[in-house]
């Protein structure tokens, strides 16, 4: 198998096995959730106590997890084969809300409060909305892992923000988790690098590749207080200004997204 497209720029041919392992790791969570929900639905039906609302919630969770798994496969396939993204005009608010809907059961189970702080009026962005949703969902899952591991129940917080900035739209995912060591800030986007004990290191490198192929970029920012902020920048409609992914500290970050 020969890699083409963005992955070929930073993944050697010897890394194909690691890529397969990472993909399996990324898919494990939604597939496990689907299996658990299917078993719960079967036990619920066998109990002869029908609750239409509860069963509907179980089925909705299964649909959301299946959609997430499909997006992961689609995103990786597009990168590996060098397929062009489906560049269209789309609503940032809609894509953010779709990612939040997919992450909500996970957040509820972990006792995490997610604050949605989007500007009242946002211009439309340009890119592949499915790929951008996958980026936001991956960042949400990472933030959930960070706060669940680093904060006690009742003090697990995530902020999701979006605003227009000149010719771009900026989306920020901020958490109050344990953060990333300063020496590791420039490493976290490398393929197969992970600060998680069981992490495979595909998520953030995939996010970076997806953002760049959509004409945007992603930045990792250490909060001045606690935790991390990941900012995704996309061109707004009729604009295209691709830039590289970088890491920096929050001291040089616009005040609207600083830790407070």
Domain presence at residue 197: yes
CATH of the domain at 30: 1.10.287
- 219 and 141 belong to one structural domain: yes
* Cα–Cα dist 229/160, whole Å: 10
Rounded (5°) CA angle 189-190-192: 115
CATH of the domain at 204: 3.30.565.10
Domain presence at residue 122: yes
Location of structure tokens 């739209």: 169
Domain boundary residue, one of 53, 81, 109: 81
Domain presence at residue 121: yes
* Cα–Cα dist 202/191, whole Å: 6
- 126 and 208 belong to one structural domain: yes
pTM above 0.75, yes or no: no
* pLDDT value for 117: 95
As a whole number, the mean pLDDT across the chain is 76
* Cα–Cα dist 60/65, whole Å: 9
- 97 and 132 belong to one structural domain: yes
Of 243 and 28, the structure prediction assigns the larger pLDDT to 28
Of 145 and 73, the structure prediction assigns the larger pLDDT to 145
* Cα–Cα dist 229/146, whole Å: 11
Q: Which residues span the domain enclosing 172?
A: 88-257
pLDDT at 138 over 90: no
Q: What single DSSP character describes residue 12?
A: -
Domain presence at residue 220: yes
- 101 and 187 belong to one structural domain: yes
- 14 and 50 belong to one structural domain: yes
- 161 and 177 belong to one structural domain: yes
pLDDT at 15 over 50: no
How many domains does the chain fold into? 2
- 42 and 122 belong to one structural domain: no
Give the pLDDT band of residue 172 (cuts 50, 70, 90). very high
* Cα–Cα dist 31/117, whole Å: 30
* CB-based contact 118:93 (threshold 8 Å): yes
Give the pLDDT band of residue 33 (cuts 50, 70, 90). confident
- 192 and 70 belong to one structural domain: no
* pLDDT value for 75: 65
Give the pLDDT band of residue 26 (cuts 50, 70, 90). low
Location of structure tokens 């604050």: 115
Give 183-215 pLDDT, tens digit per residue.
Answer: 777 777 765 445 554 443 456 887 888 898 899
pLDDT at 63 over 50: yes
Domain boundary residue, one of 81, 111, 133: 81
Domain presence at residue 2: no
Residue 217 phi, psi (nearest 5) = -155, 170
The winner for highest mean pLDDT among 40-44, 49-53, 167-171, 250-254 is: 167-171
Of 243 and 112, the structure prediction assigns the larger pLDDT to 112
pLDDT at 122 over 80: yes
Domain boundary residue, one of 48, 63, 81: 81
- 32 and 149 belong to one structural domain: no
Location of structure tokens 């109990």: 47
User: Which SS3 state, helix, strand or coil, does residue 240 take?
Assistant: coil
- 169 and 147 belong to one structural domain: yes
Domain presence at residue 63: yes
E runs forming strands in 105-239 = 113-118, 125-127, 157-165, 168-175, 217-222, 228-235
Domain presence at residue 252: yes
* pLDDT value for 11: 47
pLDDT at 119 over 80: yes
pLDDT at 250 over 80: no
Return the minimum-mean-pLDDT range out of 88-92, 94-98, 107-111, 236-240: 236-240
- 48 and 176 belong to one structural domain: no
* Cα–Cα dist 254/197, whole Å: 32
Domain presence at residue 1: no
- 34 and 135 belong to one structural domain: no
Of 114 and 41, the structure prediction assigns the larger pLDDT to 114
User: Which SS3 state, helix, strand or coil, does residue 57 take?
Assistant: helix
Return the minimum-mean-pLDDT range out of 62-71, 96-105, 213-222: 62-71
């Amino acid at each position: 198998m020969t890699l083409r497209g963005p992955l070929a720029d930073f993944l050697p041919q010897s890394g194909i096995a690691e890529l397969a392992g990472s993909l399996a790791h990324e898919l494990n969570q939604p597939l496990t959730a689907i299996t658990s929900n299917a078993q719960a639905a079967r036990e619920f039906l066998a109990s002869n106590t029908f609750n239409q609302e509860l069963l509907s919630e179980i089925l909705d969770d299964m649909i959301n997890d299946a959609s997430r798994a499909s997006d992961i496969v689609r995103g990786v396939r597009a990168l590996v084969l060098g397929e062009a993204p489906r560049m269209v005009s789309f609503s940032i608010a809609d894509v953010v809300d779709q990612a939040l809907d997919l992450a909500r059961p996970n957040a509820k189970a972990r006792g995490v409060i997610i604050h949605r702080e989007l500007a009242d009026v946002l211009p439309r962005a340009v890119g592949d909305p499915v790929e951008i949703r996958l980026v936001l969902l991956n960042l949400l899952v990472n933030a959930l892992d960070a706060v669940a591991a680093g904060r006690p129940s009742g003090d697990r917080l995530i902020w999701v923000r979006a605003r227009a900035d000149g010719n771009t739209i900026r989306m920020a995912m901020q958490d109050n988790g344990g953060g990333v060591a300063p020496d590791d800030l420039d490493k976290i986007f490398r393929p197969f690098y992970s600060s998680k004990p069981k992490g495979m290191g595909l998520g953030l490198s995939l996010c970076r590749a997806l953002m760049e192929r959509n004409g945007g970029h992603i930045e990792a920012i250490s909060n001045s207080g606690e935790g991390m902020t990941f900012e995704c920048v996309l061109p707004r409609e009729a604009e295209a200004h691709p830039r590289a992914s970088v890491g920096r500290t929050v001291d040089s970050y616009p005040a609207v997204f600083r830790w407070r």
